[in-house]
A and B are shown apart, each in its own frame.
Chain A
Amino acid sequence: MSSKRFARRPAKRPTDTVPIHLYGLRRGTVTVLTLICAAFALFILAPVAWLMINATKTQANVYSTNGFWFARPFHLLQNLSALGHNVSGAGVYLHWLGNTLLYAASAAIGATILSAMAGYGFARFGFRGANALFYLVMSTLLVPITSVALPLFLVYAKVGLVNSVWGMILPSMVSPVGIYLMRTYIDSSVPRDLIDAARMDGASEIRIFLRIVLPLTVPGLVTVLLLTVVAVWNNYFLPLIIFSRSQLYPLTVGLSSLSHAAETGSKAELVPVLIAGGLVTILPLILLFLFLEKYFRGGALQGSTTG
């Protein structure tokens, strides 16, 4: 009976997994495993649910009411509008949001361009020393960010890049993962013959890169772009070290200064602002994920798995 079902399987092809009844699981196993997943999902979702609920509360209610349920008065709009003011003396949240957008967008575009060029160089040219340089690039994956951020600050102090947006953007363009992804992607999706044919037709190297290589690697480019946006959006240590002026803070450093202000007691009324700010910090990226899910599922992380 089961072999008959097995023979029928190709008919419902869209499924790409082995039909589960073939595993000979005991009854109820699927239910138990689903419940385990649900429990973990609860563990994952609880803090985010807490953030959403408590962004609607007043400071007193954050502490005195059930953390997982709403309480009156509904204070969401007041908390959000406070993000536009310098209520804390720490700085203005909207300013930090703008900074983060600027840093993330420019670093991501830069990293994508540099990674595409370098990935192409490594994937399709066997110049002398290419392998050694590629290992150098890959070994920077293992260099602790914290060990580079402080030295960067020391160098910046010498050349006047402290409190400069370039000090944040330019280092974020160095992306070993991006190069690895682009190299792998170009290897598998840009035929050598096509490049050779274009050369025979007299196309310049730049033209080949712009007109043939880039269009063929769009999914890879989007992946590098997204990963860099996330990395810069969430970066904390580098901006913490190189910025001392709060007008330059990205969200992460801004929120941490807000949390310091809120928690030292004197500005306890900032707690709801801090929570609302946290919510506004994560919502754009979560929305980005939901919209671009297939990139994160299919390609975004795949390249890093084959290493």
Chain B
Amino acid sequence: MVQKTTPHAPPPRAPGVTPADGTGPPRAAAARRPARRRARSRQWPGAVFISPHMLALALFMLVPTGYAVYDSMQTTRLVGGTHYSGFANYSTVLHSAEFWDGVRRVLVFTGVQVPVTIALGFFFAALFDAGVVKYARFFRTVFFMPFAVPGVVAAVMWSFLLLPGFGPYAKLMHTLGFGHVDFFSSKLILPTIIVIVIWEWTGYNVTILYTSLKSIPQHVTEAAVMDGARLGTIVMRLKLPMVRPTIVMLCFLNTVGALQLFTEPSILAAFQPQAVSYGFTPTLYVYNTAVGSGDYNLGAAAAVVLALIIGALSLGAFAIRKRAGEFR
């Protein structure tokens, strides 16, 4: 490292062990100071290396976000053009029952889908990790496969499978004695979408949790086995706490994804228009307001509100995570 270049190099030290200022040998401290200053003068290329990405980030995320905030405070009328209207659009969004219905629906969706997906993911990952399942390699590949299937195709496939009357699953339910089940009825549409999204994302969670479980040193498990711990105890008491940071991260990613639910309901709407309303989810509300009705100002306001809701939830989760001492 840099010390090697100085004439009065300190004796070699274990990497990562740096004495705090004043406690180290004086000769070493004196030798380190100019080296560090020289090191700092070499840091500017770092800024150059990150600048292309930061430029793209600014142009394609920060500027649009800023513009959306600006746009959400304008109102465009057929007569009279565009003018500043303050928080009028926000007021419209916040007073829209349709919008809040969507928010509530998507929160219920998230509250069910995310825990189920992660629990299933952990269950299968733990089985594969412990090696208590035959053909585990085959199963891992199969479970991960939906990651390669775009939400659009997944929704199309499931729409056909679930078609009332014609679809094989409706027929199956009929054979099993459940009568005529309409998976697209207002009662069942949300559970239906939950099943589709679980189908899409469980394998991804399995793969990440499996990788994480695999990184636990084997001797830890061996020691527990030698102490006579049962498999269930080892998984729940030993391994689960060790992969908790991964689970927390998966909660984040799954939740942010779930709160934006759009593709599946919007494709299902093509098959069963009555099943999915205009503001079925907040994202559908944004899309239908802006693109469907052409009210971009109101759509922008809804998009900002949605971003704020998701941002607030994320910050809240971050705060909890930080207090739990898991934030790096």
Contact B207 A296 (CB under 8 A): yes
Question: With contacts A125-B47, A151-B303 known, what are 9 further pairs, Cβ within 8 A?
Answer: A23-B234, A143-B307, A144-B260, A145-B260, A146-B287, A150-B290, A209-B49, A255-B152, A289-B141
Which residues in window 97-156 of B have CB below 8 A to A? 120, 124, 127, 129-136, 138-154, 156
Contact A33 B271 (CB under 8 A): no
Contact B267 A256 (CB under 8 A): yes
Contact A155 B67 (CB under 8 A): yes
**Which B residues touch A200, using CB under 8 A?**
5
Contact B127 A37 (CB under 8 A): yes
- Shortest A93–chain B CB gap in Å is 13
B interface residues with partner A (beta carbon < 8 Å): 1-2, 5, 40, 42-50, 52-54, 56-57, 59-61, 63-65, 67-68, 71, 120, 124, 127, 129-136, 138-154, 156-161, 166-168, 199, 202-204, 207-209, 211-212, 214-215, 218, 221-222, 225-226, 230-231, 234, 245-246, 249, 252-253, 256, 259-260, 262-263, 266-267, 270-271, 283, 286-287, 290-291, 296, 299-300, 303-304, 306-307, 310-311, 314, 328
The distance in angstroms between the C-alpha atoms of A30 and B134, with both chains bound, is 7
Partner of B1 from A117, A124, A193 at Cβ < 8 Å: A193
Partner of B150 from A41, A141, A151, A251 at Cβ < 8 Å: A251
Contact A255 B153 (CB under 8 A): yes
Given A142-B256, A150-B68, the answer on whether A20 and B132 have CB atoms closer than 8 Å is: yes
B interface majority secondary structure = helix
Partner of A146 from B52, B67, B306 at Cβ < 8 Å: B306
- Shortest B71–chain A CB gap in Å is 5
Mark A6-18 against chain B: 1 for CB-CB distance below 8 A, else 0: 1000000001111
The distance in angstroms between the C-alpha atoms of A152 and B67, with both chains bound, is 9
Contact B52 A118 (CB under 8 A): yes
Contact A50 B152 (CB under 8 A): no
Tally of A interface residues using CB under 8 Å? 113
Chain A residue at minimum C-beta to C-beta distance from B131? A17
Partner of B168 from A67, A120, A121, A151 at Cβ < 8 Å: A67
A29 in the interface (beta carbon within 8 A)? yes
Partner of B160 from A6, A62, A151 at Cβ < 8 Å: A62
A44 in the interface (beta carbon within 8 A)? yes
Partner of B52 from A117, A236, A259 at Cβ < 8 Å: A117
Contact A255 B145 (CB under 8 A): no
**Which B residues touch A143, using CB under 8 A?**
61, 65, 307, 310-311
Partner of B271 from A121, A263, A289 at Cβ < 8 Å: A263
Q: Which of B60, B136, B204 has the most CB of A within 10 A?
A: B60
